[in-house]
A and B are shown apart, each in its own frame.
Chain A
Amino acid sequence: MSPPYSTLANLTRPWAAFSYGFLDPSAKREMRRKMIKAIAVPGCQMPYASREVPIARGWGTGGLQVTLTLIKPASVVKVIDQGADDSVNAASIRRFLARVSGAAETWDTLAATIVQSRHRIPEERLRDDQVLVLQVPNPEPLRPVQPNMSIARQMHADADYGRLWLVLYEQMVRSGRIMQGAAYPALVNGRHVMTPSPIPRWDVPKLNMARHLTLLSAGREKRLYAVPPFTKVEPLVFSDVPYKVEDHASLTCYRSGLRGVFMNEIPQAAGGSLHEASDSHLGIKAIRRAEGEAVEIGPLWYRDGEFRG
């Protein structure tokens, strides 16, 4: 060690009601260091300390810490909960982010600089300058086949992923098709298998060779990982069983008339069910456009239920 030694006195800052962006500078520096390593090794889970934030663990604390590190007064944040901007969880997180940072809030994917999301990726294509922050409940794709974290770490080190194919094979044998609906395991950059968070199969191709940067963060499990732009994200499949997304091509949103996007099924009391667009603000934009308003809808990832990138 060489002088000057840092002391408590010279590391202390003047009193403030709270740090900008809620997290203290030390917490942000740790997040930054880990985010850099996560981007450098796509899909590899990086441990981090995971500070306390004023929501309960498991409700988006991981995503929140990433967003709080990135946020600045000029940021425009969109927060999604299962496709919706207006659920309690999404609205609370969005309002909190704006309050502690002075950033602007939006529902519009096109206007956002940071999109924090629980379990959906917007239907409008994300651009080069946008960051997608996914909240992750369980970051370990190997947990169903290996509950011991130390052994799972060794399996990642060895790229030993055979058991994940075994899970998919057993689903084929039992059910005749792959039953994995959400959090479909995917090989990133040809090396690490990650769980893309519980997004539907529909959304996994949106991460492959995308233009935007994706950061995935699990606050309760204290791990984060990343998918940089133009990075291969390949869902695990068999050579004779191609990857299939949900068959929503023929469904129509009963409120907006949208077709060929991911739908929520709404069971009806009289039997049967209606469908509505899961990306709620895309639905709103479609309704406004139908009413004659000049609304900009960005290019979509899917056309007629087919991914077109």
Chain B
Amino acid sequence: MADPVATPDDLRDNAAFEALMWAMARPGTLHDLPEGLTDLVLALVDRECRVLVDDPALAQVVAATGAALVAAPAADHAFLTRVDSAMAVLAALPAGSPLYADQGATLVLPALLGQGQRLRLTGPGIEGAIETAVGGLPDGFIALRAARCRYPEGVEMVFVDGSRIMALPRSTTVEGM
């Protein structure tokens, strides 16, 4: 049998997913992507996905994976490079249903990690509570998230700051401080 060959693409996708998996499993902790936002696109989406993108360059990357480019109400993944539309997108993304919780979308957006609004997180993946800070989000974003995440319905969030990420799965309770 031939030796297994891990291509650079294989290794990048694996590393990006490992960062994302631990970020989701331990909300509020920071994890490193190989390079940045594009790693998440390539590790997660392909022609089975419907994706919202706000940036023409990133849209090219997404379209090349075979994913359909759609508006927020039809998207299963949203990759934002700016936060101007974040409130509208979060308000419109599918949140699944108690019957089909897996249909809740994943929202990836930029934020400043470790500065700005202080948050206290509790829930699965967190020993007791964890305090963190996320800056650069629109006013009312955390409140809108709480309104959309009516467990087990909800939207998963991944904050990207360069090559660092932090995730908030729908199971996390977020309190402003």
Q: Which residues of chain A come closer than 8 Å to B17, judged between CB atoms?
A: 32, 69
B66 nearest CB neighbor, chain A only: A6
Is B102 an interface position by the 8 A CB rule?
A: yes
Q: Which residues of chain B come closer than 8 Å to A39, judged between CB atoms?
A: 21, 24-25, 125, 169
Q: Which residues of B contact A (CB under 8 A)?
A: 1-7, 9-11, 13-15, 17-18, 20-22, 24-26, 43-49, 59-60, 63-66, 68-69, 97-99, 101-102, 104, 106, 123-127, 151-152, 154, 156, 169-171
Is A283 an interface position by the 8 A CB rule?
A: no
- Structural contact, B98 and A158, CB atoms closer than 8 A: yes
How many angstroms from the CA of A36 to the CA of B69 in the assembled complex? 21
Interface 1/0s, chain A 49-79, versus B by CB < 8 A?
0000000000000000000011111000000
CB distance from B3 to the nearest CB of A (A): 7
Q: Which residues of chain B come closer than 8 Å to A228, judged between CB atoms?
A: 24-26, 124-125, 171
Q: Which residues of chain B come closer than 8 Å to A196, judged between CB atoms?
A: none
Interface 1/0s, chain A 67-106, versus B by CB < 8 A?
0011111000000000000000000000000011110000
- A25-B13, A230-B127 are contacts. A4–B64 as well, Cβ < 8 Å? yes
- Structural contact, A47 and B102, CB atoms closer than 8 A: yes
How many angstroms from the CA of A192 to the CA of B99 in the assembled complex? 12
* Contact sample, A vs B, 12 pairs, CB 8 Å cutoff: A1-B63, A3-B63, A20-B7, A26-B47, A29-B13, A33-B44, A37-B102, A70-B21, A157-B98, A158-B98, A192-B152, A229-B125
CB distance from B34 to the nearest CB of A (A): 12
Interface 1/0s, chain A 2-40, versus B by CB < 8 A?
111110001100001111110001101110111111011
- Structural contact, B125 and A6, CB atoms closer than 8 A: no
- Structural contact, A229 and B64, CB atoms closer than 8 A: no
- Structural contact, B102 and A157, CB atoms closer than 8 A: no
How many angstroms from the CA of A30 to the CA of B102 in the assembled complex? 12
- A10-B64, A32-B43, A229-B25 are contacts. A40–B171 as well, Cβ < 8 Å? yes
